[in-house]
Amino acid sequence: MNLSTTIAGVTFPTCLMNAAGACCVTQEELEALGESHAGAIVTKSMTPQPREGNPGPRYVSFPGGSINSMGLPNLGYPAYAKLIPELRRFKKPVVASVAGLSPQDFIEAAKAIELAKPDLVEVNLSCPNIPGKPQIGYDMEASRQLLLELQDIFTIPMGVKLPPYFDPIHHEAMARVLEKVKVSFLSLINSVGNGLVVDPESETVVIKPKGGFGGMGGTIIKPVALANVRAFWKLFQGQMPIIGTGGVVTGTDVFEHLLCGASAVQIGTTLVDEGLTAFDRIEKELSEVLNKKGYASVEACRGKLKEL
Ligand code: RRO
């Protein structure tokens, strides 16, 4: 089964890749993704300065999902700008995730990353875990201004990673922002921010930063992810490539994202928990599902969800 896909003119050998943040901070992790069955190498979101991130424990998985408050640990964009050309030897797309604590941070990183020439850039408007910093993607005007500045810097196709929206009015407001800027794809969704997991035994929170509040991932967020993929697929009438992220554990989960309108999926919690062989397993499972369903490719089932 051919599981390849194309996003903004870039061809991916398979439609499965890591989510930014999952196993992609260090050179070793990025090279391991290159050697794995992942269909692309997505970097950790990068900031101007290297960051240690928040104090631990800062990632905990549990049956059904995960909670994290990593706090943007990364090597800093100069290190990734140097690494990206080297990662191209793996002959799969390299996707650079750009973040920042201020608009200036994003712009500074964008200028360096444009020169490093990854295949795609994913602008992270949705980190939920920096104490005192709201998620930009919930501020339509701030998002608009930042994206307008970034579109002038990038010649590389620029995508946007958005937070989950929970009401159609918010999907529509963000779609209106995106229509006015040169956005080539969407990554939907970042973790569902500011969840709280409680350990009843110890009567404590399970992660240290922000009083235990953190971004939720995994199976528990799949319906929210699917809804966002579907909402934006409809708002852009299938013309905006979407990378679905949230709750991908099995090949069937990928199939559901594709039906909702995704062209590819990113894998976070499952990759952290299971390791890189998750790509081999999910790839096999997805081939089996598509075969059984009579679809010959990813493209053939994209957006084909039926309503009642
Ligand atoms: O590093 C993080 O805490 C983090 C980021 Br930048 C993000 O975009 N999403 C997330 O769940 N964690």
DSSP for 123-172, please give it: EE-----STT---GGG-HHHHHHHHHHHHTT--S-EEEEE----SHHHHH
Residue 217's φ and ψ, nearest 5 degrees, are -135, 180
Q: Can you tell me the distance from the alpha carbon of 170 to that of 166, in angstroms, rounded to the nearest whole number?
A: 7
Ligand 1 pocket member 260 (CB < 6 A): no
pTM: predicted TM-score of the whole model, two decimal places: 0.98
pLDDT tops 90 at residue 132: no
pLDDT tops 90 at residue 73: yes
pLDDT tops 90 at residue 111: yes
Ligand 1 pocket member 216 (CB < 6 A): no
Ligand 1 pocket member 246 (CB < 6 A): no
The model's confidence at residue 131, banded by pLDDT at 50, 70 and 90, is confident
Question: Is-catalytic flag, 127?
Answer: yes
Mean pLDDT calculated for residue range 162-178: 98
pLDDT tops 90 at residue 8: yes
Question: For the chain, which domains are there?
Answer: 5-51+73-190+219-301 (3.20.20.70)
Q: Which two tokens stand for residue 157?
A: 């196709």
Looking up tokens 């993704």, which residue turns up?
A: 33
> Residue 268 CA: which ligand 1 atom is closest?
11
Cβ pair 163, 128 in contact under 8 A: yes
> Residue 53 CA: which ligand 1 atom is closest?
1
Percent of the chain with pLDDT over 70: 100
Question: Around Cβ 116, how many Cβ atoms within 10 Å?
Answer: 20
Q: What separation in Å is there between the alpha carbon of 289 and the centre of ligand 1? A: 31
Q: What is the pLDDT of residue 241?
A: 98
